[in-house]
Structure 1
Amino acid sequence: MSEENKFFEDFEIGESFVTNARTITETDVVMHAMHSGDWQPHHTNEEFAKSQPFKHRIAHGNMTFCISTGLIFQSSSENPNIMAYGYNKIRYPAPVFPGDTIKVEVKITDKKDHPKSKTHGLLTQTETTTNQRGETVAFVEHILYATRRTPTA
C-alpha cells in the first residue's frame, strides 16, 4: 500500500503492511493529557493506579489510536485518492504502559461500491496495534473513501 496515487481499483483485499515501531514515553502521556484535558488518575497518578487492576498508570486509549495513525502515515506515501470516511470499530483490548513499544499491521479487508457515489468506493482497512509482547493493544476498522479510476455506470 505504499505505492503513490493508488485508486480504488488498485487495492486488493488481503494486501497488508506493518509499520515501524515506536516506544510510548512518559512525555507522550503527559502531552496527551495536556492536549486532551484528560487527566484521569489511571493515566496520571501512579499512587492511584497502584489500586487499579493494571497496578500502573496506563496510556490513554485515544493516544494509542493517534500514535498508531501517525505510524501508518509515516510508513506509507501520501495518496490524494483516499481519505478517511469514518470508523466502524475502535477497541483497546489490552493496556499500553509508558515504555511499551507499539507497531501496527494494516490490512485491506473489504472493498465495496459507495451507495451514493459513482466516482468513489469504500475500502475497509483493519489496523491492529500490538506491543513488544505481541499483545493487541488497539484494533480499528477504518473506512476509506477512495477515488475510482473509472466511475461506475
Structure 2
Amino acid sequence: MPLLENRPYDELKVGDTASITHTVTERDLILFAEVSGDVNPVHLDEDFAAATPFKGRIAHGMLAGAFISATIACELPGPGTIYIGQELSFLRPVRLGDEIRIELEILEKLPKNRVRIATPVFNQDGKKVVEGVATVMAPTEKVSLPRPALPAVSIAP
C-alpha cells in the first residue's frame, strides 16, 4: 500500500523539490463544478466555450490551485502541513486532456515553522500555465501513514 510521508520543518532545505502530474479529464471538471458550485459554461458547455476567446472548454483555474494544494499536502512538506496563503497567476488556459505538472520548490524557511514554496504548473508542452507562491506551516514531527483509498464516484451521463 502506498504511503504518505512528510518532511518536517527541520528536514526541509531551500531548493528541495517535489512534483506530480495529472491529466485533466471530463470527470475532473464535473466533480470540481459539483464541489465548488462553479458551473460557468466556459468549463462545461462546448458550444458556449467555442464562442469565447479560448475557442473551447477550459478547466477551472482553481482546479490547478487544488492540484497545487494536493502536492503540498501529500508530497512537500506533506501530511500535517497547514496552508497559510497562496498567490496565483493564471497565465494560459488548461484544457481537457492536458497533462499538467505541478512543481514545488522550497524558496525560504521562515520563523515559526513557516515555509515559502514556489508553485508553478506546466502543461505537456512545458509551457507555464500557472505561477504562484505558497506560504505554509510545515509539520514538526515525521509522519508516515497509508494513503487513504477514496470511494469510487460515478458521473451520470
Distance 2:83 2:125 in 1: 30
CA RMSD of aligned residues (A): 2.5
Please name the residue that 2:68 is paired with.
68
Please name the residue that 1:126 is paired with.
118
Q: CA deviation at 1:73?
A: 4.1
Distance 1:74 1:147 in 2: 12
Question: Relative to 1, partners in 2 of residues 1:22 and 1:4: Cα closer, same or farther, differing over 3 Å?
Answer: closer
Tell me the TM-score normalised to structure 2 length.
0.76
Please name the residue that 1:139 is paired with.
131
Instruction: Select the residue among 88, 91, 94 that pairs with 2:89.
Output: 91
Please name the residue that 2:149 is paired with.
none
Classify the secondary structure of the residue corresponding to 1:31: helix
Please state if 1:36 is matched with 2:36.
yes
Return the letter of the residue paired with 2:12. Answer: F
Distance 1:17 1:79 in 2: 14
Q: CA deviation at 1:144?
A: 1.4
Contact 2:107–2:118 (CA under 8 A) maintained in structure 1: yes
Contact 1:72–1:104 (CA under 8 A) maintained in structure 2: no
Instruction: Select the residue among 97, 100, 103 that pairs with 2:98.
Output: 100
Distance 2:54 2:120 in 1: 21
Distance 2:89 2:101 in 1: 16
Task: Look at both structures and tell me which one has the larger radius of gyration over its CA atoms.
Answer: 1
The correspondence of residues 5-44 of structure 1 with structure 2, limited to 5 A, is: 6-19=7-20, 21-44=21-44
Q: CA deviation at 1:71?
A: 4.2
Distance 1:70 1:16 in 2: 14
Post-superposition Cα deviations, 1:24-45, rounded to whole Å, max 9, x if no partner, equal 1011111211221111121111
Return the letter of the residue paired with 2:122. Answer: T
Contact 2:5–2:74 (CA under 8 A) maintained in structure 1: no
Classify the secondary structure of the residue corresponding to 1:30: helix
Question: Relative to 1, partners in 2 of residues 1:15 and 1:145: Cα closer, same or farther, differing over 3 Å?
Answer: same
Tell me the TM-score normalised to structure 1 length.
0.77
Please name the residue that 2:153 is paired with.
none
Distance 1:24 1:68 in 2: 14
